[in-house]
Chain A
Amino acid sequence: MIFRIPKAHSAGGARRVLAAGLVLALALSLAACSSGGKGGTSGQNPATPQKPIRVGFLSPATGNAASSGQDMANGWKLWWQQHGDEVAGRKVETIYYDTASDPNTALTRARKAVEQDQVDMIVGPYLANEGLAVAAYTTQNKVPLFLPTVSADDLTQRKANPYVIRVAGWTSSQTTHPAGEWAYDQGYRNVLTIANAYAFGYENAGGFAQTFTEKGGKVIKQIWSPLGTSDYSPYLSQISAAKPDAVFVEMVGADAVHFLEQWKSFGLKDKVPLIGNETLTDQSNVRKLPADVASGITTFGHYAEGRDDQATKTFVDGYAAAYGVYPSYMAAAAFTNGQWISQAILQVKGDLSNKDAFLAAMRAVKLDNSAFGPMTMDKYGNPVENVYIRKTVPAPDSSKAGVWNVVEKTYPSVSQFWTYKPEDYLKQPVYSDQFQGIKQ
């Protein structure tokens, strides 16, 4: 009699019991998981002070910037291979993260580095937008971020902060400020600029346009070509129609390769003087081009793989022996980043527990010489370094590349603010397609 329960209720009861059972089972398994996790982390933090220094290395291993990311990682690995992974008695351990050439992925990887792997610092990422995204996060969490390649002007200008340092890095317009003055001194008065339609292009062109027009030159036209353009012929016709005294060109990656090929096949190479930015003839691009297309081009940059100097030679030879190609600036920057960090770790005697002291040591590092030349750090977190006028000439070993960049002239100790007072310079907005610093 007691068991006579209405049908529907019985079913509902059974279901409820089942559900409760499921909940319990899940909760138990999760509780087991989490206690297991806790055991794991406490095991990783023994009381010994000599645990390794952990570096999170963020670079694109997949996506459209993968080959540049590979260069970066190669440069970083080479430094530690050549110099041993122990500094001031402490092992330096690198964990590599793939940013997939995407700022949101870069952020997720940075979270993993900080929250799970508890790295002491992050080196990288590669792209400007990745760098900006990661910098917003690491700054909030007070994790040192050392950028070897991210050159977005504002990171060490209007948005400078103590946790972001461009270690062995550069600012986009830093290398093109001298180019504007130089162009005027060459006697050019009417110059056209062509650049990729994104921040890096605006900043490169802006640096050039500002100093060139301040001396009295005239920018007759500015062309912004979308990133990923493969057919430059419409732009090249505009250039020849405008009849400029010279052209300032900023191009990155595949765009640089396509531009230089078409510049030659259009017959403009021997007709119109070209002033290029750093990336136009970076080794990562010119190694894909035949010598007749890529040679004899003048560019401005903070790095020249053909620089006649022992520090550069040692690095370039070591890199070429290890990887079979000449190193790009990304490789040199990651390599020198390792050199810089090692010096700072030595300075604080391997004790990274005081973050402020370590960051101060990072800013105090002076490299008397490096693959780039001498380097010091300004108080905004950007290196004061040489800017070279470079010319592409046939490379000594034609099996590694058609051409490489040699130094024609050196501007020593160039700051990101050029010859302007930082306070005055920071009052103007960052370069964009709306603001190019042009004096009429």
Chain B
Amino acid sequence: MRRYGLRLSLVLAGVAILAALPTLGLPPYYVSLFTQVFILGIAAAALDLLVGQTGVVSFAHASFFGVGAYTVAILCTRYNVSSYVITLLAAAAMATAVAALFGLVALRAEGVGFLIITLALNQIVWGLAYQWVAVTGGENGITGFFRPPIGPFAASNVNYYLYALAAMLVSVAVMWVISHSPFGLVLLGIRERPRRMRALGYNIWSYQYAAFLLAALFAGLAGGLFAYYNAFASPADLALPLSTQMLIMVILGGAGTLFGPLLGAAILIFLSNTFSSLTERWPTILGIVYVAIVMYAPEGLLGIAQKRLLPSLNTWLRLRQRREVSAAKQSESPGDAA
């Protein structure tokens, strides 16, 4: 536990601040934007489980996100389900079920092959959502459902902000435990030395498959939260641009850091909202920012922070500690002499 002491206190502090922000007078629009960050953060962190931890780059992540969104939208509009627990669990389950199928197809390949297959699978799901009007409402999507009250609390934007924050915390905590468990370490091993892992007797395929399902599960949950947030589900929720965006979040924040993608989601959402109100050329500016980060911080922002900032912080702490100890010794030694 001590190993993670500093990080844990940083995380707890961050959470405390985030939870207090709305009452500290965060403007309503930023409450909305932060809610979006939390939701997309869950999906991006889940993708990191695949990209950073297992070393498998998937372009099908948006399809699981979108399946989650449609599951919630359909349960709300057709079956009048008003329980978050039921709809969100169903969203996660549906996404996992779809991933169970996709994994069988995609994980037959490796590397670029896997990437292309997931890209194609994502397009298939998008095409289905776009064309299967009877179920998905086609291009127009599904509207006509609203957030039910959250337990005893009203479904206000602030309450939903807290709900999404809690969902993000629980999800990321679970993912953190998974990634630091023996299972997660095997995934790391597969990323680094697949052949050796195979030689050691690990069934690589089944580990990758399990990671694929886990990533989809959390993506589905995030998609469900997103549908409630927007009161809307449409093919845009599972379109390829969203898959790409999630990958950018992971890379910006730092692949393999789990918390980095949350930062990546925040940067992506806040930058696009800031620049788009300044100029029509905002996609160009975003592009330049991405390229700059990839060129000068290829490990991502959190990656570079961990590499540069944390060691120097640790060194500083160690130095101070050594100084304290030697100071203590010095103050002792005269006494001893006397």
CA distance A15 to B17 in the complex (A): 19
Of the stretches B89-97, B186-194, B226-234, the one at the interface is B226-234
The answer for the CA separation of A220 and B277 in the assembled complex, in Å, is: 50
- Nearest residue (CB) in B for A112 is B29
One of A128-136, A229-237, A367-375, A410-418 at the interface: A128-136
B141, A103: Cβ atoms under 8 Å? yes
Q: Which residues of B contact A10 (CB under 8 A)?
A: 321, 324-325
**A19-B6 contact in complex given A133-B230, A136-B231, A136-B232, C-beta closer than 8 Å:** yes
Q: Determine which of A62, A109, A116 lies in contact with B28 in the assembled complex, contact meaning CB atoms within 8 Å.
A: A116
Closest chain A residue, CB of each to CB of B131: A197
Interface string of A118-132 (1 = CB under 8 A from B): 000000000011001
Contact B139 A140 (CB under 8 A): no
With contact pairs A4-B328, A26-B17 given, residues A140 and B236 touching in the complex (Cβ less than 8 Å): no
Q: Is the CB of B2 within 8 A of A129?
A: no
Assess whether B133 is in contact with A128, with CB atoms less than 8 Å apart.
no
| Complex contacts, B334 vs chain A, CB 8 Å | none
Q: Which of A61-109 contact B (CB under 8 A)?
A: 61-62, 97-98, 100, 102-104, 107-109
Instruction: Give CA–CA (A103, B33) in the complex, Å.
Output: 16
Among the stretches A29-37, A211-219, A295-303, A355-363, the one at the interface with B is A29-37
**Cβ-defined contact, A19 with B13, below 8 A:** yes
Q: Are B21 and A30 in contact (CB under 8 A)?
A: yes
Complex Cα distance, B25 from A153, in Å, reads 41
A100–B232 CA distance with the chains assembled, in angstroms: 17
A97 and B278 alpha carbons, distance in the complex (Å): 10
Given A19-B6, A111-B32, CB of A11 within 8 Å of CB of B134: no
A11 touches B317 (CB 8 A): yes
Does B80 belong to the interface (CB within 8 Å)?
A: no
User: How many angstroms from the CA of A198 to the CA of B133 in the assembled complex?
Assistant: 8
A41 within 8 A of B: yes
B residues near A137, Cβ cutoff 8 Å: 230-232
Contact present for B280 and A8 (CB under 8 Å): no
Across the interface, do B144 and A4 meet the contact criterion of CB distance under 8 Å?
Answer: no
Contact check, A38 vs B29: say whether CB atoms are below 8 A apart. no
**In the bound complex, how far is the Cα of B283 from the Cα of A137, in angstroms?**
25
Q: Are B138 and A199 in contact (CB under 8 A)?
A: yes
Residue among A12, A15, A38, A200 having the largest count of chain B Cβ atoms under 10 Å: A15
Q: Verify B130–A23 contact, CB threshold 8 A.
A: no
Q: How many Å lie between the Cα of A100 and that of B242 in the bound state?
A: 13
Distance from A172 Cβ to chain B, minimum over Cβ atoms (Å): 11
Task: List chain A residues, Cβ under 8 A from B130.
Answer: 197-198
Contact B29 A159 (CB under 8 A): no
- Chain B residue numbers with a CB within 8 Å of A433 are 133
Which chain B residue lies CB-closest to A203? B140
Interface residue from A8, A18, A97, A199 paired with B139 (Cβ < 8 Å): A199
Q: Does A241 contact B (CB under 8 A)?
A: no
Contact with B along A10-28 (1 / 0, CB 8 A): 1110111011101100110
Q: Counting CB contacts under 8 A, is A202 at the interface?
A: yes
Contact of A129 among B10, B13, B236, B276 (CB under 8 A): B236
* B17 and A133 form a contact (CB under 8 A): no
Contact of A15 among B9, B27, B31 (CB under 8 A): B9
Residue among A30, A109, A136 with the highest chain B CB neighbour number at 10 A: A136
Say yes or no for A423: interface residue by CB 8 A criterion. Answer: no
- What is the size category of the interface that chain B forms with chain A? 35 or more
- Name the residue of chain B whose CB is nearest to the CB of A127: B139
Distance in Å: Cβ of A315 to nearest Cβ of chain B:
25
Specify which chain A residues have a CB less than 8 angstroms from the CB of B10 in the assembled complex.
19, 22
B-chain residues with CB within 8 Å of residue A116 when the two chains form the complex: 27-29
In the complex, what residues of B have CB within 8 A of residue A227's CB? 139
Query: Does B317 contact A14, Cβ atoms closer than 8 Å?
Result: yes
Contact (Cβ within 8 A) A432 B13: no
- B138 with A432: CB separation less than 8 A: yes
Residue B331 CB within 8 A of the other chain: yes
- Tell me the count of chain A residues lying within 8 A, CB to CB, of chain B: 60
Residues in B neighbouring A26, C-beta threshold 8 A = 13, 17
Instruction: Name the B residues within 8 Å of A427 (CB-CB).
Output: none
In chain A, positions 249-264 with a C-beta closer than 8 Å to chain B are none
Q: What separation, in Å, do the CA atoms of A22 and B231 have in the docked complex?
A: 37
| A34 CA to B144 CA, complexed, in Å | 34
B105 within 8 A of A: no
Query: Which chain B residues lie closer than 8 Å to A5 at the CB level?
Result: 328
Whether B196 sits at the interface, judged by CB under 8 Å, is: no
Decide yes or no whether B207 CB sits under 8 A from chain A.
Answer: no
> Known contacts being A3-B328, A7-B321, A16-B9, is A104 close to B140, with CB within 8 Å?
no
CB proximity of A229 to chain B, nearest CB, Å: 13
C-alpha gap A3/B330 in the complex (Å)? 11
Contact B16 A23 (CB under 8 A): yes
- Chain A residues within 8 Å of B321, by CB: 7, 10-11, 14
The answer to the question of A1 belonging to the interface, with a C-beta cut-off of 8 Å to chain B, is yes
Q: Which residue of A lies closest to B231 (CB)?
A: A136
Q: Give min CB distance, A131 to chain B, whole Å.
A: 9
- Given the known A-B contacts A12-B5, A129-B236, A136-B231, are A62 and B25 also in contact in the complex, defined by CB atoms under 8 Å? no
In contact, A159 and B143 (Cβ under 8 angstroms): yes
Minimum C-beta distance from A7 to chain B (A): 7
A35–B327 Cα gap in the complex (Å)? 44
In the complex, chain A residues whose CB is within 8 Å of the CB of B139: 128-129, 198-200, 227
The answer to whether A152 has its CB under 8 Å from any CB of chain B is: yes
CB within 8 Å of A: which of B1-48? 2, 5-6, 9-10, 13, 16-17, 20-21, 24-29, 31-33, 36
User: Could you tell me the distance in whole angstroms from the C-beta of B235 to the nearest C-beta in chain A?
Assistant: 8
Closest to B320 in A: A14
Given contacts A112-B277, A136-B231, contact A30 B24 (CB under 8 A): yes
The distance in angstroms between the C-alpha atoms of A75 and B326, with both chains bound, is 77
List 19 extra interface pairs beyond A34-B26, A112-B277, CB under 8 A.
Answer: A3-B328, A11-B321, A15-B6, A23-B16, A23-B17, A26-B13, A27-B17, A103-B234, A107-B230, A108-B36, A111-B33, A115-B28, A132-B141, A132-B143, A136-B230, A137-B232, A140-B146, A140-B231, A197-B130
In the complex, 13 of the A-B residue pairs with CB atoms within 8 angstroms, ordered by the A residue number, are A5-B328, A16-B5, A18-B317, A30-B17, A61-B280, A102-B236, A103-B234, A104-B230, A104-B236, A107-B230, A115-B29, A116-B29, A432-B138
4 pairs of A and B residues whose beta carbons are closest in the complex: A19-B9, A116-B29, A115-B29, A34-B25
